[in-house]
Structure 1
């Protein structure tokens, strides 16, 4: 199993950069020009760029566009039937969960720690 952990700050920075990059590209900048322009800008300047060139307030975007989306296994209980006895039993299952509202800052670290420890009880 490969675990890749990024901080919520990484996701936010990457999202801001991506929105700025594609705004510049849509406005006629080449790959090199857009990349070069973004290397020199502060976070506040990138927010201003989005507002000036696309009328977009980055803070008004849905959280999943700013922080990313979490995909992880969720363990749940389900009622089932024992095929040998016909008896109703409670079983544990896993399903993929799509989390569109990831926590931020320290809560994000706690969230990731809990996911890892749930999957790797030997830690």
Structure 2
């Protein structure tokens, strides 16, 4: 029995749907939410859940398999692969850095200075404690 995936796709975002799926599944694996050997929904079931095409979910799964996050066993299903501690740590750091880069880009588009960006980050950090 597979685990339902708590992911959402948004057609209004710049990133393609398959990429949104990939990134969210990677985050679930790296965070430990989806441990090794967890059964994932079939390509068809995930497409239905997300309201997207089978081709889109297939591409996401193919990319995840190519990057060694998941493994498909014919006739059995698709399962999460083990992600080593070092890789997990690196990927978590990369995800946070990517999110911070995007936040800085957004702030710069609104003409905030570095000092103002740091001040905003400190506010968010205090709020999230």
TM-score, normalised by the number of residues in structure 2: 0.20
TM-score (normalised: structure 1): 0.21
Q: Which has the higher strand share?
A: 1
Decide which structure has the larger Cα Rg and report it.
1
More helix by share: 2
